[in-house]
Amino acid sequence: MTLLYFIIAISILVVIHEYGHFWVARRCGVKVLRFSVGFGKPLWSVTDRHGTEFSVAPIPLGGYVKMLDEREGPVPEHLLDQAFTRKTPVQRIAIAAAGPVANFIFAFLAYWLLSVSGVTGVAPVVGEVVQDTPAWEAGIRTGDEFISIDGRTVNTWQEVSWALVSYIGEDASIPVVLKDVDGLAKQGQIEVSSWLSDDEVPDPLTGLGIEPRRLELPASIGEVLEGGAAAQAGLQAGDRILAVNGQPLADWYAWVDVIKAAPGKLLSLTVNRAGMELAVDIRPAVKTLDDGTQIGYVGAAVSVPDVPESWLRTAHAGVIEGIGIGLSKTADYIVFTLESLWKMLLGDVSVKNLSGPITIAKVAGASASGGLESFIGFLALLSVSLGVLNLLPVPMLDGGHILFGVAEWVRGKPLPERIQVAALQFGLFLMLSLMAVAFYNDLSRL
């Protein structure tokens, strides 16, 4: 299912991006030879009355629009006026920019739709605060609810996280407003220094020492993974773990702590199954973490109860108000992406944050499991990232074509061919290097 959602997500965004190029190219009088979703030999294709082949290829990692171009071979005399290379620099710049612009338009429409239909999330109420952390020093305590961060109103934990991520890698004083358990407003300043700059997967809340309010989870099993220690011991979905080695369990969190602390050790469980108590022996499997620490795991998932309505916050916007929200969110994420890339170049944020298709696929699957609202939000964010990355002034990307077009517009003639070839070679080297780093990060996370 993860692979399926990845293909769906990439295909949607590729069609949107390439349609931007296609639409503007047609209006500039350029003949489009092929519109392909995916790479490789087409699995399916159809040709329209303009001679454009629309195809679906088997490698779902992108797509392309192939235009009539003198650089790729001889062009018949009667078609020269439809070649990409015969168009003015302004037209070629517009064609190159149209793909990223289409991504931004899609993101805006997605955020507008979500804001109008209503976005639901968990209220940002603090569960625990670790002592001697930035949050503790700022006076944040259990039961406090975030109201705003740096003047930006926040209604859910997702909004809190997004308000904080822009501070990653920085030395800053973050102004926050909260209300305590009695409903009284309180203000604070969270002081951070080179915050989370070395973290591979930075978590803003953990980095501040905050743990959100947690549901009470009894130690009830919702799913047993085939072949795991739990399945081998005979545990079943619906079982409730009452005690381990005669010691009562308070909740699922306590059960997890016991299992993690007992890799390879035999444990005696007292289990309630359909009202009957059973004795079950289990030996947790051993997992070795990156730092060499060994923990136990049994291959069982919790039975999660529904989140109480009082814990949820739903924000609805009017049709007109939603336009402002859509524009604001799209602009915020464009700026966030550019700032993140800049911080990586400066070394303020680790390059371990670069992700490739494996991580994108995992996030696609996770967001889809959260429902349509979550998946649309993921598509919008990925669309912004795709648009920004393609606008970077790197040859082989849309931004590189725009750069060449601007240079020709200013000079009144194209850049020398040797410079264009050298730039393309550099661009190819840079893109392959970034892809290698992203794949390495993906594999290391597995």
Task: Look up residue 351 and give its amino acid.
Answer: V
CATH number of the CATH domain containing 193: 2.30.42.10
Specify whether the CB–CB gap between 141 and 180 falls below 8 A: yes
Say whether both 358 and 383 belong to one domain.
Answer: yes
Cα 55 to Cα 41: distance, rounded to the nearest angstrom: 9
Average confidence (pLDDT) over 135-157:
94
What is the residue-wise DSSP string for 299-340? Answer: -EEE-PPPPPGGGEEEE---HHHHHHHHHHHHHHHHHHHHHH
User: Is 77 inside any structural domain?
Assistant: no
Instruction: Return the pLDDT at 109.
Output: 97
Helix (H) or strand (E) holding 110: helix 89-117
User: Is 23 inside any structural domain?
Assistant: no
pLDDT tens-digit profile of 59-109? Answer: 888 899 999 998 888 889 999 999 999 999 999 999 999 999 999 999 999
Average confidence (pLDDT) over 280-303:
91
Instruction: Return the pLDDT at 352.
Output: 79
pLDDT band of 356, cuts 50, 70, 90:
confident
User: Is 172 inside any structural domain?
Assistant: yes
Q: Kindly tell me if the per-residue pLDDT of 386 is higher than 90.
A: yes
Q: Is 293 helix (H, G, I), strand (E, B) or coil?
A: coil
Q: Kindly tell me if the per-residue pLDDT of 199 is higher than 80.
A: no
Average confidence (pLDDT) over 173-190:
94
Say whether both 445 and 323 belong to one domain.
Answer: yes
Cα 409 to Cα 412: distance, rounded to the nearest angstrom: 5
- Of 306, 339, 358, the one marking the end of a domain is 306
Q: What is the tally of structural domains in the chain?
A: 3
User: Is 243 inside any structural domain?
Assistant: yes
User: Is 404 inside any structural domain?
Assistant: yes
Q: Kindly tell me if the per-residue pLDDT of 184 is higher than 80.
A: yes
370 phi/psi in degrees, rounded to 5: -85, 0
What is the residue-wise DSSP string for 414-429? Answer: PPPHHHHHHHHHHHHH
pLDDT tens-digit profile of 36-48? Answer: 999 999 999 999 9
Average confidence (pLDDT) over 147-159:
92
Q: Quote the radius of gyration of the chain (alpha carbons, Å).
A: 27
pLDDT band of 120, cuts 50, 70, 90:
confident
- 131: tokens are 């002592």
Specify whether the CB–CB gap between 116 and 82 falls below 8 A: no
Q: Which residues contact 203 (CB under 8 A, 6 or more apart)?
A: 196
Instruction: Return the pLDDT at 304.
Output: 83
Instruction: Please choose, from the candidates 179, 113, 187, the residue with its C-alpha nearest in 3D space to the C-alpha of residue 150.
Output: 187
pLDDT tens-digit profile of 396-446? Answer: 899 999 999 999 999 999 889 888 888 888 888 888 888 898 888 888 877
Mean pLDDT for the chain?
91
Say whether both 423 and 446 belong to one domain.
Answer: yes
User: Is 64 inside any structural domain?
Assistant: no
Supply the range of the domain harboring residue 361.
102-118+316-446
Say whether both 273 and 321 belong to one domain.
Answer: no
Q: Kindly tell me if the per-residue pLDDT of 274 is higher than 80.
A: yes
Say whether both 284 and 392 belong to one domain.
Answer: no
Instruction: Return the pLDDT at 290.
Output: 73
Say whether both 329 and 225 belong to one domain.
Answer: no
Share of the chain above pLDDT 70, in %: 100
- Of 313, 338, 356, the one marking the end of a domain is 313
Say whether both 336 and 441 belong to one domain.
Answer: yes
Q: Kindly tell me if the per-residue pLDDT of 200 is higher than 80.
A: no
In this structure, the number of other CB atoms found within 10 A of the CB of residue 221 comes to 22
Share of the chain above pLDDT 90, in %: 68
In this structure, the number of other CB atoms found within 10 A of the CB of residue 106 comes to 24
Which residues are marked as active site?
18
Q: pTM of the entire structure?
A: 0.81
Specify whether the CB–CB gap between 120 and 312 falls below 8 A: yes
Instruction: Return the pLDDT at 134.
Output: 95
Instruction: Return the pLDDT at 35.
Output: 96
Say whether both 417 and 437 belong to one domain.
Answer: yes
Phi-psi region of 278 (alpha: psi -120 to 50; beta: other; left: phi over 0): beta
